[in-house]
Amino acid sequence: MTDQSPTPHQPRPSVGVHFKCCNVYINIYQNQAGTAYTGHCPRCATPIEIPIVEKGGSSSRFFTDS
């Protein structure tokens, strides 16, 4: 294996989400466009998308599906 210079990459922001459907908690990550956090329930695959609001407002970093 060659030792290449490390590629600078920023870890994508994540948020914790509680899925009420299956009562599970996971972290989901920003999509590539950076417009929303997207993920799905690890048990039943229910998708979730949390739009990212750029302007100030809620500082909460925890969400639940609805």
Q: Which residues contribute to the site for Zn ion (CB under 5 A)?
A: 19, 21-22, 41, 43-44, 46
Q: Which is nearer to Zn ion, 26 or 41 (CB)?
A: 41
Q: How far is the CB of 41 from Zn ion (least distance, A)?
A: 3
Q: Which is nearer to Zn ion, 21 or 52 (CB)?
A: 21
| Ramachandran angles phi, psi of 10, nearest 5° | -95, 130
Q: How far is the CB of 32 from Zn ion (least distance, A)?
A: 24
